[in-house]
Structures are given as structure tokens and as C-alpha cells.
Amino acid sequence: MNSPAVLLDHYRTLACARQWRGFVRAFAGELAGALPPAECARVMGRIGERFATSHPLPACDDLAALQRACNQVWQYSDWGVAEFREGAVEVTITHIGDPLVALLGADAAWSAGFLEGAYRGWFRAAGMLPALDVHHCPGISADVTLFSVRRIA
């Protein structure tokens, strides 16, 4: 039977290559044991920004082109898929299939800092105004990570 729960469990098992699972879990445990969650998220954000710098995107004329460019990197890296939606006062980023969430679970919510930092780096490189920033938002499920690009509070 291919129930949604079984399919998601199967995905979560495959989300991180076997050779990296033990290392990533040990690294996350060490990080979480040494720092409070907010600082873990900041460290992951800096790693995400470094990732964005090392994976520069081509020039993008609009939000749809930026989404396509980001998804090319995510597809190549097996890191899920993103959808950008422009609202009246913010851009919403929905990211599905983050392998860190699949591997580490809800106890390591700070791991979303990696994606937050990557999107921050790419949006800044694309010309995001200095008054705006990328913010992690509460998600709708463990498999969907939400961000918004909005004014700095």
C-alpha cells in the first residue's frame, strides 16, 4: 500500500545519502549541545549564505526567473524544490523536501537557518533592497519550510 505516510517515510529515508547520515546527526547533536537554538540558526544561516555565494545564480529579471534559478541549484543538489509567491507586502517562499528536516526532524528546527541564509544570499545578489530580509516562518508541516521576504522589523 502506498499511503501518503508510507511514501513520506520512504522519502525521509532517502533524503540524505547513507554515507552522510551518521556524520550529519553527530554534527547536529554537537552543534545543538554547544549552542542555544537561536545561535544554531544563525550559524546555519551563515553556512547558507556561504552556500549561496559558492553557487551564484545567473542574472534574473523577475521573481519567476529567480525561482527557476534557485530550483536548478536545489535539483542538482537533491535539496528539494521551492515556490515563490509575491504578495502585497511580502514574497513567500515555500520549500518542500529539505533533507536536513527529513534527517534531523522537528527537534532541529534551527536547521532551517541554512535555507534562510541561502535565500538571503541569492535575494541580495539579485538586488533585494537593504530594508528587506528573509525570515523563517512557522511551517504547515514537517516537510514544508516557509520563509518570507519582508521589511526588517
Q: How confident is the model at residue 153 (pLDDT cuts 50, 70, 90)?
A: confident
pLDDT of residue 125: 97
Cα–Cα distance between 80 and 84 in angstroms, integer? 14
Cα–Cα distance between 137 and 93 in angstroms, integer? 10
pLDDT per residue as tens digits for the range 14-54 = 666 777 788 888 999 999 999 999 999 999 999 999 999 99
- HSE-CB for 123 with a 13 A CA cutoff: 25
Nearest to 30 by CA among 14, 46, 17, 43: 43
Q: In the structure grid, which three cell numbers stand for residue 50, read together?
A: 556561504
pLDDT per residue as tens digits for the range 92-147 = 999 988 888 878 877 788 999 999 999 999 999 999 999 999 999 987 777 789 99
pTM for the full model?
0.90
Do residues 97 and 110 lie in contact, with contact meaning Cβ atoms separated by under 8 Å? no
Q: How confident is the model at residue 12 (pLDDT cuts 50, 70, 90)?
A: low
Q: Which residues pair with 141 in a beta bridge?
A: 144
Do residues 74 and 56 lie in contact, with contact meaning Cβ atoms separated by under 8 Å? no
Q: Which tops the pLDDT comparison, 91 or 17?
A: 91
Residue type, 9: D
φ/ψ of residue 132, rounded to 5: -110, 155
Q: In the structure grid, which three cell numbers stand for residue 56, read together?
A: 551564484
Do residues 126 and 48 lie in contact, with contact meaning Cβ atoms separated by under 8 Å? no
Nearest to 143 by CA among 10, 27, 44: 10
